[in-house]
Amino acid sequence: MISLSTAIFGFIMMLGFMILGWHVGVAMLITSFIGVIFTLGTNALNSFGTQLWSTMNDFLLTAIPLFVLLGEILLRSGVTDRMYTSLSLWLSRLPGGLLHTNIGTCAVFAAVSGSSVATAATISTVALPEFKKRNYSEKLVLGSIAAGATLGILIPPSVNMIIFGALTNTSIGQLFAGGIVPGILLTIAFMTCIVVIAKLYPKMVDQTKIEVSLCDKLKHSIHLLPAIFIFSVTMGSIYTGWATPSEAAGMGVISSLIIAAVYKKLNFTLLNICILSTMRTTALCFFIIIAAFYLNFIVGVLGIPQKLTMFVSEIGTTPLQLIFVLVIFYLVLGCFIETLSMMVGTIPIVFPLIVHLGIDPVWFGIFLVLMMEISLITPPVGMNIYVVQGVRGHGSVKDIFVGVSPFVITMLLFIIFITFFPKIVTWLPNLLFN
């Protein structure tokens, strides 16, 4: 039988491939092939064809391209620009002014996009020209956009939650429900962070107050209806049991096409761009998913999860101790590896320990998404940082690292909060799904 030290060596080798810049799917495939050949022999590779078919023959996975397409249509049809303007009228009176609009718009767009990177790119494009006219700290502006965009994978729908559910056989509906309350609370926490900064360092924000009548606010609020409508259609159909996540995603796509038509943006050029972008993103996700299932196969056949759970039992590890270790583990790992790579590469090893210690899989899914959020805004690999910097087009990326630091601290405190009060995550899934 394979020793635990050999398994750990294989895991470190896979992470080493990723750190060297290999594509995560390639790194997992090579590691899986080496593991099979050296432990089971070359004949065992014949089972990979069956693994490929069983993995891709899952109706649940059709939700991924549909939710990606939904976000692409909304992104390119001008819905976000109008949402930003509407929210700015309501939120700019708070201490911190337009910075709250960055967070609020990220949260609303997250409720229909499912991608942090798409949220970062979209909100940066809309918000940065507006802030150039105002007297705000550029570092704080950039940090608020990069941090707010992380809500894209926490507030449902979330592509990352779908992948987590597929890899761990966890209910996608429960994961989506589990992300709603933490998503709202984290949005409030980000806004509270901005208020504190505005009070302590008033020179970092523009103190100019623009008076807007209630009539104008209500008039522009109509542009928030598309996001509310799509969220109600997709999430409402899942929570009421009317549709599966895949069917709900299809309904969301149809709704987004209707909205694009209402805004007179629907044409063949728009559809062509959206479909091509969706195909590229979906191909990338599916390649990673297939590689992850291959890795799951070899890890399971070799009995690695059982060895790890026995080891954890022998040393008497408690759930709280394991979560503390995982926070440190993912913080360090997130500094070197892209978020999706980090998730799919570690789930085969970590998730059996979670189940063994009786930790709720839905809670752990939200915890893992929060750790992925932090890795999106921590150096040197934080993807949101570079997306925002790319839209900015000048200056040093170090400015954004400084700007996100208060929000990283806020997220770490929030993780501690849900660790000691897990019902914040599990209450709504338990209520909706008994």
Q: What is the pLDDT of residues 79-98, one digit of tens each?
A: 877 888 888 888 877 888 88
Does 181 have pLDDT greater than 70? yes
CA distance 383 to 24: 15
Judged by phi (left if over 0) then psi (alpha if -120 to 50, else beta), residue 229 lies in alpha
What are 413's two structure tokens? 């405190």
Confidence grade of residue 366 (pLDDT, cut at 50, 70, 90): very high
What was the pLDDT predicted at 1?
46
Question: 4-19 and 24-39 helices cross at what angle (nearest 10)?
Answer: 150
Full-model pTM: 0.83
Residue 347 contacts by C-beta under 8 Å, 6 or more apart in sequence? 164, 167, 168, 292, 296
Burial readout 221-254 (b: 16 or more C-beta within 10 A, e: otherwise) = eebbebbebbbebbbebbbeeebbbbbbbbbbbe
The position carrying tokens 């998503």 is 183
Question: 361-375 and 339-356 helices cross at what angle (nearest 10)?
Answer: 150
Tens of pLDDT, residue by residue over 263-285, are 888 899 989 998 998 888 888 77
DSSP helix/strand/coil, 423: helix
397 burial via Cβ count (<10 Å: 0-12, 13-18, 19+): middle
DSSP helix/strand/coil, 164: helix
CA distance 62 to 45: 27
| AA identity, residue 18 | M
Cis peptide before 156 (omega within 30 of 0): no
Identify the DSSP state of 61. Answer: G
Residue 181 CA, chain-centre distance (Å), reads: 15
Does 303 have pLDDT greater than 50? yes
